[in-house]
Amino acid sequence: MRIPIAQAIEFAEGILVRHGVPAAYARMVADHLVDAALAGHAFAGLPRVLAIVDALAGRPPAGPVRVVHEDARCARIDGGDNVGYAVSLIAIDKAVEIARKSGVAVVGASNTWFSGRLAYYVERAAAQGFIALHTANTTARVAPYGGIDAIFGTNPFAAAFPCEPEPLVVDFGTAQATWGEVLLRRTTGRPLEDGWAVDAEGRPTTDPAAALAGAILPWGDQRGYGVAVIAQVLGILVGSDVVIRTVSDSGFFFFVLDPALLMPLDAFKARVAELAAAVHASRPLPGGPPVRVPGEHSQRRRAAGRAAGTVDVDDEVYRRLLAL
């Protein structure tokens, strides 16, 4: 079904507040979820409210998000056991604030949990003229390459660069599927794709419930696995558990750079736009669609969704949200 954007935001915000998310943070989460839905990432949209509410059940009230250390180039943030959507937004804004003064910023956040699409945060920085890199480690749901035990999170990596008309954004997980996608398929009764997961005994499975009891497999074989290790270690650096066994204690790493340290911003944006133009002009595979740069499809879908003024929500997901 389709509902108006403003209604979707208010709907998500109201449910989150009712289940214990502070009002100021609930709005941050709701804005993010609706943006994800508009960008065409259904699993990262309103269905995530169900997962957040589930994670909040039995959890004591969260504390405030606090900057516990800050100097001219870095900051450390204690998330207060708040949902990572709010913590990450506060962290990227702090990184941009520091980078405006010093040209470079490193910010780490811990004592928090899942945070949605990393593209949302790095794109926010790039829209203000900064290069941004961001990694996150999360609850152990992904096996190492060649293994069957869940050790890593889906451990995404994202980067964004100032460009015209919109930032160039790269965002990818290091697992064959996001945890949110597996949850959504369980909710909607759809099987997983072959090769995405194994059950608790290490047997290949397309059953989402069996995958959640077993492990998702790494994306890109040893290459994606290597990026997952990097995200895991950077999360440890900023205060996460070594292996995260509960929906808590993730580590979010942010690096923000003012390109003017190396090249005038306008010149850099023009060079990145030139690269994008070269990609667009390159020949596609025979019979294939035009070649795109990363992130472009999401940006186009978001623009179309905002023009339409509505957001898609799965009927079963909407029914469950109403029950909350």
pLDDT in tens, 297-307: 999 999 999 99
- Mean pLDDT, residues 272-292 taken together: 97
CATH top-level class for 1-61+295-324?
Answer: mainly alpha
pLDDT in tens, 188-235: 899 999 999 999 999 999 999 999 999 999 999 899 999 999 999 999
Instruction: Specify the CATH number for 65-175+218-281; select among 2.102.10.10, 3.30.1370.60, 3.20.20.70, 3.40.50.2300.
Output: 3.30.1370.60
Looking at the predicted structure, is the pLDDT value of residue 247 above 80? no
In the chain, what are the domain boundaries?
1-61+295-324, 65-175+218-281
**Cβ atoms of residues 155 and 232 within 8 Å:** yes
Q: Which residues of 205-229 are buried (b: 16+ CB within 10 A; e: fewer)?
A: beebebbbebbbbbbeeeebbebbb
Q: What is the pTM of this model?
A: 0.92
- Mean pLDDT, residues 49-71 taken together: 93
Q: Judge if 1-61+295-324 and 65-175+218-281 fold alike in CATH terms.
A: no
**Cβ atoms of residues 82 and 112 within 8 Å:** yes
Residue whose structure tokens are 């250390």: 69
Query: pLDDT band for position 180 (50/70/90)?
Result: confident
Query: pLDDT band for position 108 (50/70/90)?
Result: very high
